[in-house]
Chain A
Amino acid sequence: MMEAQPIYWTHYVATCLFALGLLGFLIRKNAITVLMCLELMLNAANLILVELSMRTGTPDGIIMVVFVITVAAAEVAVGLGIVLNLYRLKETVELDAFKSLQG
């Protein structure tokens, strides 16, 4: 698996992914795309966890990733449920339409 030369730049990939997710989170207005960008950020964190876990020889990081995936699924389920309700309210999912918290 890991030869004498460990590959040290997976965290560059993860940082890139996280940065892209964050950028999308900031500049996109569609609520669903924003949620997708959130997923990207979570995955970047997962990648780092897996990398560190394999590099330090401890399986804890991998188990953490299993839990993160579960919680991410939960987050998406609730998040998209909220988006559906927002759509019912205003017939749009543009986040700018929901500046005020009053229905």
Chain B
Amino acid sequence: MTGLEWIILLSKLLVIYLTIVHVVPIMIWVERKGAALIQDRPGPNRVGPFGLLQPVADALKFLVKEDPIPNSVNRVLYAMGPFMTLVPASLIVAVLPVGDFFEVQGKSYFMQIADINVGLLYLLSISSLGIYGILFGGWASNNKYSLMGAMRSASQIISYEIPLGLAAVGAVTVYGTFSLREMALGQEGTFLAVLPRWGVFMQPIGFLVFFISAFAETNRLPFDLPETEGELVAGFHTEYGSMKFATYFMAEYMNMATISGLMTTLYFGGWHLPYLTDATLLGWLGGQRNLLAVLQFLIFFFQSCCLPAHFRLGALDGAAFPL
């Protein structure tokens, strides 16, 4: 690789990765403000205009807080737990395409960190690693509630991984490739004269399955059984404080962001706008379109937090297998 290629690679990497990292505080703000809007209360409104700086303040607070390590924990695994979730969460970002390509000095570069020809498999396999942080963290905490929360969380995540994978198989049959870039390319144009050629319209059932599984995978409401406050104190991270807790939190939100990105890529045409084929317009709007769609999904994720719905754990795990 030449120097220029390295520079482009690194800049792509930093831009995409930092976007995902920085989406986290924005997501938290949107979640809290949105919940406040729905529940008719002010929400965060002290720090900055509209409480916009609240996440920054939170992050600072997390950084400078005392980090008590309980006596009974297994110190090595306790310290490594949060990172075992954060690293896979950051690695998934690599295969998400955020746009078509751009040209530098006559060579075209894809707007994607790594165009792997088995991208979908890569994504599924790396995202299945996040459960180790939960399992080891819960176990190392040496707390009843942590361990139980970890087991519940893990069994829920693994149960819903299979429907997630099978829904993705549906997408693969349509496009005949594992590369997420080519999948997004395959959704260009329209079919039946009216509808955009998106995955949602090609695979409505697959999308539904994927959608439900995505909720369960990220432990959002109504699938928040691992963190039922009434039964288990807070789930697997009961014993975690300070920055370690924040790391778990960050990984969770990053997972949400990437899974929304995957949903956009598989079912909402990636960077393609409906009815528009003009290349220049696409080139400019395309990058934003994907981000917008991601944000749209995130907002949906949070709004559903306010739906008071609980399932029994058994019903949940049982429901996963027929899917």
Q: Is there a direct interface between A and B, measured as CB atoms under 8 Å apart in the complex? A: no
